[in-house]
A and B are shown apart, each in its own frame.
Chain A
Amino acid sequence: QRVLLLVASDVDALCACKILQALFQCDHVQYTLVPVSGWQELETAFLEHKDQFKYFVLINCGANVDLLEILQPEEDTFFFVCDSHRPINVVNIYNDTQIKLLVKQDDDLDVPAYDDIFRDEEEEEEESENESDGSEPSEKRRRYEEDVIERTMRRRQRREWEARRREILFDYEQYEYHGTSSAMVMFDLAWIMSKDLNDMLWWAIVGLTDQWIQDKITQMKYVTDIGILQRHVSRHNHRNEDEENSLSIDCMRIAFEYDLRLALYQHWSLYESLCNTSYTSASLKLWSVQGQKRLQEFLADMGLPLKQVKQKFHSMDMSLKENLREMIEESANKFGMKDLRIQTFSIHFGFKNRFSASDIVYATASLMENIEKEGPETTNFIKALDSLSRGNLDKLHQGLDLAKKQLCAIQQTVASCICTNLVISQGPFLYCSLMEGTPDVKLFSKPVSLCLLSKYLLKSFVCSTKNKRCKLLPLVMAAPMDVEQGTVIMVGIPPETESSDKKKFLQSAFSEEKAADSTNSRTLHNHFDMSIIELKTEDRSKFLDALISLLS
């Protein structure tokens, strides 16, 4: 039985896909891979393949909508869904025939109880009886008591039940958040089947790191999952330290590290990385003159000569590199950057290849959303997927280059948005809209890049303003999507404060039946993330007004 593999366009999905592909290869399962970037593509792909396939695997898509409703599959069609999108649609959860969800058991799902949201519809027809068929009236009629009392009671109970159901579902569905990385779930599967390999483990690490970089999970969840992976890492990489030198060219080794939270620094210069990392840039407020001065002071405090800092990291003096992490951390503490070091993993293979997990995430994401057209729609996806294999160093390096450009573009856009006061408070949320013609604006027509930009912007904005309330506000960001079709893409980003246990955005505000419908805006929920929508440029202000009144 051939399987159809439908994979969303995010790094975690790609990693999960790699693991599953390896498992399929192991078990000689035939499959066809189709990348899907949104609901429309998912539906089209399903319609095109539903006659040839009975088994569909969905990665990072499909969990948060009623799949049977939108795809209308035949009864002998089965879906295996591995998706970190939360909340999971309740129908998917309680369907025990056609929908099989791959979820980690310890994931806290808070699913409403079955009896609270479903009930048999037996009494439904009572209201509409065969009144109007024009047949002769009955000769005798009984007078029912429950016409009044029991029926009223039943109706009242039903109304109460429905009100409660609405409340429960509202609570359950109002926030969008993410569960355990799909790559980790897939790795768990491989591990349970005793088919886990070091490569798979690495993809699981990259998947988790993607969630962290995309700010999809809390720090707490990240650290917990790192701990889980760390146990697997030591299981798979248990060689003694002194054996390390004997590594052959095609051996790989994964190591746990407390590394610097500086984007791509090992493939860049330390200076550029400091400037283009959201954490340091926002903390030092690099968009201002004082910020630039602070950066100089920071470097001076570390005692690193500017010349060394500005040259490629791998050409830096070995003596400087030796205690670099400790030195930077010490100075960073003085400058209020207490979290500059993070727990992560790195991979070593060949003689000189060393990458940290975040390097891979940035590179892969940039390849996936590359705006230079190099072929058909799926080219970027395939290339990004390939870059995850150890043998494709050239693709990985191309990805790293693209990622550096992307980070620079983000940094410049953030700086210009803050310096020109483009972030405005709309009352219940912050709002920023990128104009057509802004440099690099095309880059931000893609969802992952736009989300990354929005998150960096919100972080920086919160640091730049004295208004404490902004910490509690979500950000809504709009960017031109398709100039010819006159569409914009809009994302909602949760507030900066980590007061709650989940990274979540009030998705109900974005849902079709709310803001969009109340304005008749032509919006399209084409993205698997419910906090991303597309709409016509001219509907933008209408939609915003509705959003304001909805959230106020």
Chain B
Amino acid sequence: SERMRKFKNKGKDAAALRRQRVEVSVELRKAKKDEQILKRRSVLISLMEENLSPEEHKKNEIIQMSLEEIVGAVNGSDTELQLQAVQATRRMLSRQKDPPINQIIELGIVPRLVEFLSRADNAALQFEAAWALTNIASGTSDHTKAVVEGGAIPALVSLLSSPHMHISEQSVWALGNIAGDGPLYRDAIINCHAVPPLLALVSPVIPVGFLRNITWTLSNLCRNKNPCPPLHVVKKILPVLIYLLEYEDKEIISDSCWALSYLTDGSNDRIQIVVDTGVLPRLVQLMTSPELTVMTPALRAIGNVVTGTDEQTQAAIDAGVLAVLPCLLRHVKPTVQKEAAWALSNIAAGPCRQIQQLITCGLLPPLVELLDKGDFRAQKEAVWAVANFTTGGTIEQVVELVQSGILKPLLNLLSSKDSKTILIILDTISNLFLAAEKLGQTNKLCLLVEELDGLEKIEALQTHENNMVYRAALNIIEKYFSGE
């Protein structure tokens, strides 16, 4: 949780202002686990139908082979039998229910399958082997490990340039699975010089299904931290991602956006590389897409950018992010509300001129609404936005915030169960009183808080089990409400 606070310096509380998304990714990890079970299947149909040669259809009379027969044939020298065995293997690995990945690995045939990848004279064998390896690599980390240790990476990288499109596509897929395992194998692929031939495949003439596979593999090459992908590779991939963002296909756009969201999820110099490409306006535009699959990663990427420096945040503002946020703050999906509020909280952590832009662009009404009626997790983010606002805003800006009706929903949230949120609200209330003091309107604010049943709630917090909450509440009462 050291990462929880990664902020720029501003004032004494600055350390608590801009927050990168750590909680968010924890939740996503969880979501992803469930998703493993339901891997995307429908995506693949069109692609497969395009690629299946008539000859392959013909071979669909299925040859049943036992595992022993497979081992024998694979290790033998009869090419026809080898093909049949690899095909049988691939078929077992492709079935819907419990593919026998472990058993196949235990047969010790993975190195042979890798060998077959190099049999340029036998395209069918190459293809079947690549497919089988793809599916082995799609399993657990141990499964992927077996493929990598069998020496598959260099062989697959050379197949990227195969004259047969279905073979190069299959190796793109296999490499995508290997890269998806984590930074270690991702970089192993990069070190095998996979990126230049992979990028060379991107062209307007290849089928869209193939392009989807390439985009997904590219996104896996941008994915994961500790370490982040090497800078020189990121710089090579970025222009292609930006090119892919211009496609009409929503899956290509979606995966490209995800890649950009991975690349912006890091230190400010990483963010800077993305900002420098000038892609922000396009990302902001995609935030308005009706497709959730496109809008979500675009919002994530922009959200990451505004965790950066004031200049980087300003670049996002200049790209128009403030104009699209109101809609997203009012989105039906709680996760979208939450991400949008998170982005807003980081913009509110900026200098007062950015806060002013936030006001001018009409972000206060949707913020008040969200605080009042939004999903609870989104409300938490909205509380952060208000807190940051009161920390960095001018007296006039804070007055405007109060006038927008923020107090009522804010005070209501004091009944929340989350002591962290309560603490932030109490901090915010203190900030408001500081501003009121400067204007000589402390009494007015006291009355307002009382009228909205806030005093009652703050008093109740004096018995809160959390010591910090108790002290913060007591502090406000003593300071502003004790002297009759």
Contact = CB atoms under 8 A, between A and B. Distances in A.
Interface of A: 126-127, 129-151
Given A132-B291, A146-B95, A147-B48, A138 B31 contact: no
Please list the 5 inter-chain residue pairs (A to B) with the smallest Cβ-Cβ separation, ordered nearest first: A145-B94, A139-B180, A134-B296, A134-B292, A142-B138
Given A141-B177, A149-B60, A135 B134 contact: no
Interface in B9-63: 28, 31-32, 35-36, 38-42, 44-45, 48-49, 52, 60
Given A134-B296, A148-B52, A149-B60, A141 B40 contact: yes
Contact of B28 (A135, A146, A150): A135
B134 A137 contact: no
Contact of B94 (A135, A140, A144): A144
Given A145-B95, A149-B60, A136 B31 contact: yes
B472 to A, nearest CB: 37
14 contacts: A132-B292, A134-B296, A134-B297, A136-B32, A139-B223, A140-B39, A140-B181, A141-B216, A143-B131, A143-B170, A145-B91, A147-B41, A148-B52, A151-B45
B90 to A, nearest CB: 7
Contacts of B176: 140-141
B31 A148 contact: no
Contacts of B96: 144, 146, 150
Nearest to A132: B292
Contacts of A147: 41, 44-45, 48
Contacts of A146: 94-96
Q: Which of A143, A146, A147 has the most CB of B within 10 A?
A: A143
Interface residues of B, number: 52
Contacts of B137: 140
B45 A135 contact: no
Contacts of B216: 137, 141
Interface in B74-108: 90-91, 93-96, 99
Contacts of B296: 134-135
Given A132-B291, A135-B28, A139-B180, A144 B258 contact: no
A129 B95 contact: no
A126 B28 CA distance: 24
Nearest to B216: A137
Contacts of A138: 32, 35-36, 39-40, 180
Given A137-B219, A139-B223, A131 B293 contact: yes
Contacts of B173: 141, 143
B144 interface: yes
A479 to B, nearest CB: 54
Interface in B205-232: 216, 219-220, 223
A144 B42 contact: no
A139 B220 contact: yes
B258 A142 contact: no
Given A129-B38, A129-B42, A136-B28, A142 B293 contact: no
B346 interface: no
Contact of A136 (B44, B170, B258): B258
A131 B42 contact: yes
Contacts of B52: 148
A127 to B, nearest CB: 7
A143 B177 CA distance: 11
Nearest to A152: B49
A148 B52 CA distance: 9
Given A142-B94, A146-B94, A129 B41 contact: yes
Contacts of A141: 39-40, 44, 138, 173, 176-177, 216
A437 to B, nearest CB: 60
